[in-house]
Amino acid sequence: MAYRGKNAVVTGGAGGIGLQVARQLLSNGAAKVAIIDLQDNLEEFVKLRAAHPTQSVMIIKMDVANRKGIEATYEEIVKTFGSIDIVVNVAGIFNDKDVQRTLLVNLGGIMNSTLSALQYMNKENGGNGGLIVNMSSVVGLDPMFIIPVYGATKAGIINFTRCLGNDQFYQRSGIKFVTVCPGATMTDMFTNFTEKIIFPETSDETYKILDRLNKQSATDVARCILSVLDKEKNGAVYVIEGKRVFPLELKQQWTGKEHA
């Protein structure tokens, strides 16, 4: 398994999908796991440490939108762990009414964490290389008209991660990049959902759509993310739906040729 004996960082690891990813990494033999999150979840962190007494669990309270703070956080993690092999960027929010914050956390946060991590993971800088997994969503692929702001940040994450998941960059850095796009998952993210959408007149339709969706658990999604870590396919984009994970066939749209 790609994560056995490895050092990992999980953003958004205090709750929801991120907490399950951190838990499963430890259960499956990761040596050291650092959790970066805005929130404390002391009860879960105590349980996590108690369940894995021989592994290191580091908790850092930090906002992924804070670029300087995230840079300092990675410096601290590398000082403590020695190196980083895996990063799973999960932290994200849903609040389409707060456009700035959604951009800064969902898109900015992924960029801050990815770009800080790769300084230390890059083989050219003395790192070990490794794998960075970024959390998008199925709504970053297929537009969902009720959540355009959130959807746009998730679409941006796919493009950002695919740009980095380029084999020329891999030859130099030894780092692979993968995007995961889960479908609806039962977590706290969509609490008070209709208060956070920009078109309240669509709330009835929104409820109907949400009711119809087949929802998976955070544990299922985390299990699929760990299977993606094992595949290590650079630049790949995976959909995680109905507890299953499958890669997308993405073909180049832009040829660069002139049309008559």
Ligand X SMILES: NC(=O)c1ccc[n+]([C@@H]2O[C@H](COP(=O)([O-])OP(=O)(O)OC[C@H]3O[C@@H](n4cnc5c(N)ncnc54)[C@H](O)[C@@H]3O)[C@@H](O)[C@H]2O)c1
Q: Tell me if residue 150 is catalytic.
A: yes
90 binds ligand X (CB under 6 A): yes
CA distance 103 to 156: 10
What gap in Å lies between CA 35 and CA 19, rounded to an integer? 8
Selected range binding ligand X among 12-20, 22-30, 122-130, 167-175, rule: CB under 6 A: 12-20
Contact between 10 and ligand X per CB under 6 A: no
- Binders in 132-151 for ligand X, by CB under 6 A: 135, 137
Name the strand (E) or helix (H) holding 59: strand 56-61
Binding region for ligand X (CB under 6 A) out of 15-23, 76-84, 122-130, 246-254: 15-23
96 touching ligand X, by CB under 6 A: no
Contacts of 116 (CB under 8 A, 6+ apart): 70, 71, 73, 74
Interface with ligand X includes 184 (CB under 6 A)? yes
241 counts as binding ligand X under rule CB under 6 A: no
Smallest separation (angstroms) from ligand X to the CB of 260: 42
Q: Could you tell me the two tokens for 7?
A: 């050092």
| Rounded Cα distance, 211 and 70, in Å | 37
C-alpha to C-alpha distance for 12 and 28, rounded to whole angstroms: 19
Does 30 bind ligand X (CB under 6 A)? Our answer is: no
x/- track of binding to ligand X for residues 193-232 (CB under 6 A): -------------------------x--------------
> Distance between CA atoms of 80 and 28, rounded to whole angstroms?
21
Long-range CB pairs of 208-212, under 8 A, 24+ apart, other chains included: 209/144, 209/146, 210/184
The contact set with ligand X (CB under 6 A) reads: 11-12, 14-18, 37-39, 63-65, 90-93, 105, 109, 135, 137, 182, 184-185, 187-189, 218
Q: Which residues participate in catalysis according to the annotation?
A: 150
